[in-house]
Amino acid sequence: MSTGIRSLFARIDALTLLLYFILVLVGLMAVFSVEYRSTDVGLFLPGKNYTNQAIFLGISLFAGLIILFTDSKAFASMAFLSYLFGIVLLVVTIFLGKNVKGSHSWLSLGPVAFQPGEVCKIFTSLALAKFLSLNETDFSKLKDRLIGAAFALLPAIIIVLQSETGLALVYVAFFLAMYREGLPNGILICGFSFIALAIASLLLSQLILFIILTALAALFTALLWKRFLHSGPLRLLIIGSYAVAILFSQLVVPFAFRHVLHRYQTERIYAMLGQDVPEAYLPESELAEDEPTRKKDNNYNVTQSKIAIGSGGLWGKGILNGTSTKNGFVPEQHTDFIFSSIAEQFGFVGSALLILIYVLLMLRISFLAERQRSTFSRVYAYCVASILFVHFAINISMTIGLAPVIGITLPFLSYGGSSLLSFSILIFILLRLDADRAVLIR
């Protein structure tokens, strides 16, 4: 092995690589445990999901090896071009996409099907990192903040047009990375306020919510009456906030539930909140459906997942001994609900250890981010950590009933070539950039 190659591998962060390998191997084991049956005549049978996942892992490792031998500056130089390619790919998918479970987010290239939205997370991370590292970018100015937000929101909007709202939600992660680079606290406060308002819009009738918002606006005006009379910015803030809240709760949320979200997504959100879907959000053809039957169908996946998790107890039932897992009681257990198979087989202790590994990986990536000399490398690292956090938090919450089931995969564990390959590429690009952390990359 040449001196240059030895030097490169010596600079690669061993802990991040170790945590990555632990997660992908646990994922392969989990997919295997979901599908393996005692009647199988071999371990890796053609056509089985765990066999495909092993192939995906091999492809991911090969791609990772190529990335490690790539010049680190190439990622910055190709960032905008790759982002443009990703946007074009997303637009093409709208018209040529394969219909899978009601969404047109899959593109077929011969026998291979993949989600451009998954791959575009890589391109968006690189493009945002490139933009924020430019000398002419001043992120304290509104113009540059809007441009940064546009980098994150443009692919998300196109993905929504593909009827894949769950994947589009992941792009909110980029605002966490921008927060590290100086995005004001007010932006995050506004974001959480909109989330709270959206939840209130689901729990309360439009009339009651209108009365509450009007009362709050009147209360703030009364408490700040003297300042309200003499301060134009304060008047603009109170009146503007009131107007935006009314428009969002009375028009935007109802429009989203009627025309953007699929019926099953609406039902899952209301099922999580313990509410029945309002008739205004259901097509007329479905109003005659038996309500208890529809509600039972909405809760079935999460209920079975929680049964599997609870049955694992403290130590679990042991590998390949999970009752719900080996009998296929949990729908989509190899993808969205893969965590339930871990919890059933390895119990609370195994689940806690898995969560600890994820937390350690995200903390390690944050540590790597802060030791970078280059803004490009730092922003990219925080993009990776943020994407992992959003996927991890939403997926775990889905499986235990704390979030609606919106099709968010668990990084490195859930079955799927697009997901595993995209997360692997994110990690290996980070490792390559960190290996050259003393180099100024723009």
Local confidence band at 29 (pLDDT 50, 70, 90 cut-offs):
very high
More confident residue, 43 or 305: 305
- In one-letter notation, the amino acid at residue 155 is P
Confidence of residue 275 (pLDDT cuts 50, 70, 90): low
| Strand, coil or helix: 195 | helix
Return the minimum-mean-pLDDT range out of 163-172, 293-302, 344-353, 356-365.
293-302
pLDDT of 175 higher than 60: yes
Asked if residue 270 has pLDDT above 80, the reply is: no
Confidence of residue 284 (pLDDT cuts 50, 70, 90): low
Mean pLDDT of the chain: 86
Residue scoring higher pLDDT (295 or 409) = 409
- Taken in order 129, 133, 136, 141, the sign of the CA dihedral is positive
In this predicted structure, what is the pLDDT of residue 55?
92
pLDDT of 320 > 90? The answer is no
State mean pLDDT over 322-334: 82
pLDDT of residue 298: 53
- Pairwise CA distance, residues 275 & 218, whole Å: 30
Sheet containing strand 112-114, strands side by side: 98-100, 103-109, 112-114
* Per-residue pLDDT at 295: 52
Taking residues 409-437, report their average pLDDT: 93
Distances (CA, A) of 319 to 304, 312, 328: 19, 11, 15
β-strand pairing of 112-114 with 98-100: unpaired
Q: What is the pLDDT, as a whole number, of residue 27?
A: 93
Mean pLDDT, range 134-140, rounded to an integer = 90
Query: What mean pLDDT do residues 34-49 have?
Result: 74
Mean pLDDT of 398-424: 89
User: pLDDT band at 102, cuts 50/70/90?
Assistant: low
Mean pLDDT across the stretch 332-347?
Answer: 89
Query: 169: buried, middle or exposed (CB in 10 Å: 19+, 13-18, 0-12)?
Result: middle
Domains of the chain, residue spans: 3-37+46-193+286-435, 194-285
DSSP string, 89-108: HHHHHHHH-EEETTEEEEEE
CA atoms within 13 A on the CB side of 135: 1
Q: What percent of the chain has pLDDT over 90?
A: 43
Element (DSSP H or E) covering residue 112: strand 112-114
- Which alpha helices (H) appear in 113-205, and where do they start and end? 116-133, 142-161, 165-169, 173-180, 185-203
